[in-house]
């Protein structure tokens, strides 16, 4: 009798003909409950008459609905960067998933459309935003005062650079790479000075002539002109200018300090004396850092 039922199923159901599933139990009637194993390795339970009507295997027919949902998403290439941790109820009922940033709730039907969990579906949006920010920005900032309201509502972010304090910024801008304005200003100033701070320190560490990090101001002259030169060096001033300078000079000040202090002080002096800039008649390395007079350098 079983052979007749199976033959009828083969004649009627194309999926069974193609080997997309197989029966795991005996079939003796149209009302029999069939245990079916699909090509994902998931078990389903359907009435034999439903198979004869070519009813497809679905999440609802699966015994382990979460496993079948996962396998279905994998087959579509949608199961990436998250793990389903909740129990499946209905395709239209939200299910919990875990991402790299936190827990989200999203409808299985939405996942099956190829959409992914994001901060809008996060259970704790503040935590989600903080974890995303750390991944994209590193540990440059602190987020103790952040309260996420929306992607366009500004949050308070702390800069870990001493003296920079906190700043307000939209989550969208922060996640797109925006950061502390003071850091950006410092970066532009450092770039304008030719060497980044890290590059200058690295070169100092490799130099055979390293003496100390220092800021200096020179009074320079010849028969035709006189001006002041601001600079920093990790060698001695004599080593810096010996046989490389066509002007007479005397050292007005020479201050030994850390590399970062040298950088910041040079930036400050140049800013305070921007209206006193002077272009020497004879060019040399650093000729753009010269001034008619120097104010406020102590």
Residue 223 domain-assigned?
yes
How many domains does the chain divide into?
A: 4
- Among 161, 182, 203, residue at a domain's last position: 182
Task: Provide the token pair at 108.
Answer: 């299985």
36 falls within a domain: yes
Exposed / middle / buried, residue 261 (Cβ in 10 Å: 0-12, 13-18, 19+): middle
What is the Cα–Cα distance from 292 to 290, expressed in whole angstroms?
7
Distance of CA 216 to the CA centre of its chain: 40
Q: Is the pLDDT of residue 100 over 70?
A: yes
- Chain position carrying tokens 């935003």: 129
Give pLDDT, residue 2: 45
Q: Inform me whether the pLDDT recorded for 193 exceeds 70.
A: no
Burial class (CB in 10 A: 0-12, 13-18, 19+), 206: exposed
pLDDT-derived band at 71 (thresholds 50, 70, 90) equals very high
- Enter the pTM of the model: 0.57
- Statement to judge: residues 202 and 112 lie in one domain: no
Q: Give the range of the structural domain holding residue 80, as residue numbers without chain letter.
A: 65-121
Closest CA to 103 of 87, 83, 89: 83
CA pseudo-torsion sign 129, 140, 143, 186: negative
Element (DSSP H or E) covering residue 43: strand 43-47
Q: Quick one: pLDDT at residue 267?
A: 86
State whether 231 and 283 are in the same domain.
yes
Task: Look at residue 69 and tell me if it is in a domain.
Answer: yes
Answer yes or no: is 57 within a domain: no
What is the C-alpha to C-alpha distance for residues 37 and 48, in angstroms, rounded to an integer? 14
| Within a domain: 23 | yes
Domain end marker among 75, 92, 121: 121
The answer on pLDDT for 87 being more than 80 is yes
Question: Averaged over 176-196, what is the pLDDT?
Answer: 71
Using 50, 70 and 90 to split pLDDT, how confident is the model at 186?
Answer: low
Last residue of a domain, one of 162, 182, 202: 182
Q: What is the mean pLDDT of residues 151-156?
A: 95
């Amino acid at each position: 009798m079983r052979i007749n039922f199976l033959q009828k199923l083969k004649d009627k159901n194309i999926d069974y003909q193609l080997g997309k599933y197989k029966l795991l139990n005996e079939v003796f009637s149209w009302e029999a409950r069939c245990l079916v194993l699909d090509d994902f390795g998931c078990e389903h339970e359907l009435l034999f008459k439903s198979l004869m009507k070519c009813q497809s295997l679905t999440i609802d027919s699966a015994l382990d609905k979460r496993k079948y949902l996962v396998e279905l998403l994998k087959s579509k290439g949608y199961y990436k960067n998250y793990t389903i941790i909740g129990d499946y109820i209905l395709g239209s009922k939200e299910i919990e998933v875990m991402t790299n940033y936190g827990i989200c709730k999203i409808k299985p039907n939405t996942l099956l459309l190829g959409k992914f969990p994001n901060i809008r579906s996060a259970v704790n949006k503040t935590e989600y935003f903080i974890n995303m920010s750390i991944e994209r920005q590193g540990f440059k900032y602190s987020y103790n005062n952040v309260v996420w309201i929306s992607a366009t509502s500004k949050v308070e972010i702390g800069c870990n650079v001493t003296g920079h304090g906190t700043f307000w910024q939209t989550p969208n801008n922060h996640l797109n790479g925006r950061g502390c304005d003071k850091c950006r200003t410092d970066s532009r100033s450092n770039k304008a000075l030719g060497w980044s701070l890290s590059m200058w320190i690295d070169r100092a560490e490799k130099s055979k002539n390293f003496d100390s990090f220092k800021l200096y101001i020179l009074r320079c002259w010849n028969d035709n002109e006189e001006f002041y030169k601001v600079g920093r060096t990790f060698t001695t001033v004599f080593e810096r200018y010996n046989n490389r300078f066509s002007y007479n000079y005397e050292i007005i000040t020479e201050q030994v300090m850390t590399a970062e202090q040298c950088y910041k002080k040079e930036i400050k002096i140049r800013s305070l004396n921007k209206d006193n800039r002077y272009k020497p008649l004879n060019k040399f390395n650093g000729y753009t850092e010269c001034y008619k007079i120097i104010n406020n350098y102590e």
